[in-house]
Structure 1
Amino acid sequence: MAGNAVPRPTILITNDDGIDASGLQALVRVLVSTDLYSVLVCAPDSEKSAVSHSITWRHPVAVKSVDIIGTTAYAVSGTPADCTSLGISKALFPSIPDLVISGINKGSNCGYHIVYSGTVAGAREAFFNGVPSISMSYDWVEGKSNVEDYVLGAEACLPLINGLVGDIKNKCYPTGCFLNIDLPTDIVNHKGYKMTKQGKSNFSMGWRKVSSEIEGYNIQSNMSTDLDASLSSESNELTTKQGHVLFEREATKYVIDDEDVDILSLHEGYINVTPLCGQSPAAVELQDFFKDWLLNVSEKSSPSTL
């Protein structure tokens, strides 16, 4: 490094759609093109959608170097939380990144979807370890969206990323939360940024039996909102040679409450910015209720009342 040049801030990118996913690739290209950051990538080697904050515990993960122009990149056999944990551990890279960004996910992450999301977990894992982080998702709609929208979304978020890195450098970024960003479908005509809070929106999920005649069918639930219509439920042959009966999740309806500010704001065309934390404490009135409830239960179960 020549003279007294200041090293560029380092951003670690992960996701849950896999290292080859268009959203991650677009985000990386946009960040690299700014020439402002040192970009690292540590992402799953395959899709890990809806794994939430699961981690690999009982066996090692496999790590492979991947060629992504302008970055140092590795594909990992583990979950998004694994990837973030490894990427900030200094076991893989020589230093801890200044910022972790998880995304850009194919599909929004609002309401209760935040709980299921591997994308959000990738950012949350960084938060758990004291590293500032962002999860980013795009409200992909089949027939309307295309891969170029990821680039537009990444470019639209650059002011947020730059501002966040500046705050981190100046040590004025609050450490008690991380940010969840959702990009509207019509990103080119977005209405600007809007501060929101997590709502309660969610798919009402059911189950259906599916055909067992699909060779190599992986018996795992797929929480993607883009449901696979190729699995036919018309077959009467529902039992596999191993004796398994196959069931698949299906969304019956999408439930939105009047207080679901994040999903409503997104559908209005705003770029949602939602602060999140690692804990989900109950509301104060519920804390008060269960304080009294526990006292009553304890009194009723005391030896003198038995």
Structure 2
Amino acid sequence: MDNAVIAGSRPTLLITNDDGIDAPGLRFLVDLLVAADRYRVLVCAPDSDKSGVGHSITWHRALSAKRAEIMGATAFAVSGTPADCASLGISGKLFDGVIPDLVISGINIGCNCGYHVVYSGTVAGAREAFLYGVPALAISHNWKGRKSNVHDLKLAADACLPLINAVLYELKAKAYPEGSFLNVDVPTDVANHKGFKITKQGKFMTRIGWEQTYSSTPALESYQTANMNIDSVSGPANNASSAVVEDELLFKRVVIKKNDLEEEEEDTDHRALEEGYITITPLGALSHPEMEAVPYFQGWLMRLAERTSSSSL
């Protein structure tokens, strides 16, 4: 691909996310890139919050792409998922034939470590670009209620700019590996981070359960409630906008348990993140099985074949 980076002109960056085009994480990142005056900045992001949709795509209906006003960038708000936005943005159909040199998805509110990459629309936006041969980064901030504030997202953008430039340098030198994309997580106390660290995907997962509720008000934090006490907006008292109708039951997701940090392996993404590092985790398109399980399933298949053969006699 004859990208702008290879040709030596300004690199073209496509920014997407899952929090929506109005999310502060995306806006801070775009503002920083525009102010640097070193890149051509394109934005193709969901027109509303699409957090937690994973790698879902829109198939049976057309997408709407509407111009959005973001100073210094060419931007569209799209009625689709993060994967839709990344796909449309790199297709050449939306930006008059322009194919970006690098896709950046974020900056997300909340970390995307371990098994969370399965649910993450932020990671999916980067993965979709990677699947079609475009280098990509997913960037998330380890937002913690009552500790974090919106300014931390601006600091996260500042902290990740050297990484973005380093990737662009490697692309220009034709030295950047094609077999992975990068999942980047920025620690809660970003102002005092310990630097960058290459990590591996761990098994971190916030266990989520269900609880009956009497309001359909969003129960989990998003950028719209980033400065609010989330407990104050999700309780039974706020049910005026969505009264329960007869024979209708409402349930909301609730946090049951987070991983014990002591149980996590060294050099895994979440552990290093909690230790204060900006973690950089190379990811591939697919999740690979635990290798120690392969011999078991080989033997299991042989036993299955033997049982099938004996039962047919």
Calculate the TM-score normalised by the size of structure 2: 0.88
Check if 1:251 corresponds to 2:255. yes
* Counterpart amino acid of residue 24 in structure 2: S
Residue 228 of structure 1: how far off its partner (Å): 4.6
Q: Residue 43 of structure 2: SS of its match in structure 1?
A: strand
From 221, 230, 234, the equivalent of 1:231 is 234
Q: For residues 166-215 of structure 1, what are the alpha-carbon distances to aligned partners after superposition, in whole Å with 9 as ceiling and x for unaligned?
A: 1112211111100000001111111100111111111122111111xx4x
Partner of 1:279: helix, strand, or coil? coil
Q: What secondary structure is seen at the aligned counterpart in 1 of 2:210?
A: strand
Q: Among 260, 263, 273, which residue is 1:266 paired with?
A: 273
In structure 1, distance between residues paired with 2:286 and 2:114? 15
Distance in 1 (alpha carbons) for counterparts of 2:15 and 2:257: 33
Q: Distance in 2 between matches of 1:121 and 1:149?
A: 23
Q: What residue is the counterpart of 1:132 in the other structure?
A: 135
- 1:283 aligned residue: 290
Letter in 2 for 1:277: G
User: What secondary structure is seen at the aligned counterpart in 2 of 1:103?
Assistant: strand
Distance in 2 (alpha carbons) for counterparts of 1:277 and 1:262: 15
How far residue 272 of structure 1 moved from its aligned partner, in angstroms, is 0.5
User: How far apart are the structure 2 equivalents of 1:305 and 1:134?
Assistant: 53
Once the 2 structures are TM-superposed, how far is the Cα of residue 143 of structure 1 from its aligned partner?
2.7
CA change 1:113–1:32 in 2 (3 A) is same
**Residues 1:239 and 1:67: Cα distance change in structure 2 (over 3 Å):** closer
1:33 aligns with 2:39: no
Match of 2:106 among 85, 103, 106: 103
Residues 1:142 and 2:148 aligned together: no
Aligned length: 295
CA distance in 2: counterparts of 1:33 and 1:234, whole angstroms:
44
* Deviations 1:87-144 (CA, angstroms, capped at 9, x unpaired): 0011101221000000000111111111111000000001111110000001112332
**Equivalent residue for 2:59?**
57
Q: Partner amino acid for 1:246?
A: L
Q: 1:208, 1:233 within 8 Å by CA — same for their partners in 2?
A: no
Secondary structure, in 3 states, of the residue corresponding to 2:103?
A: strand
1:159 matched to 2:162? The reply is yes
**Amino acid corresponding to residue 185 of structure 1 in structure 2:** T
CA positional deviation for 1:222: 5.5
Match of 1:301, SS state, is helix
| Structure-1 separation of matches of 2:234 and 2:41 | 40
Q: 2:244 aligns with which of 230, 240, 247?
A: 240
- C-alpha distance in 2, partners of 1:231/1:274? 34
Distance 1:298 1:222, change over 3 A: farther
**TM-score, normalised relative to structure 1:** 0.90
Report the CA distance between 1:32 and its aligned residue.
1.1
User: Alignment RMSD, CA only?
Assistant: 2.4
What amino acid sits opposite 2:269 in the alignment? D
* Secondary structure class of the residue paired with 1:137: strand
Distance 1:234 1:68 in 2: 37
Query: Does the Cα contact within 8 Å between 1:17 and 1:105 map onto a contact in 2?
Result: yes
Hey, which bits of structure 1, 4+ residues long, moved more than 4 A?
A: 220-228
Q: Does the 8 Å contact 1:223/1:249 carry over to 2?
A: no
1:112 aligned partner, one-letter code: Y
Contact 2:14–2:104, Cα closer than 8 Å, also in 1: yes
Cα pair distance change 1:276/1:54, threshold 3 Å: same
Question: Pick from 159, 169, 173: which aligns with 1:170?
Answer: 173
* Letter matched to residue 169 of structure 1: K
- Shift in alpha-carbon separation, 1:221–1:141, aligned structure 2, 3 A: closer
Aligned equivalents of 1:254, 1:128: Cα separation in 2: 31
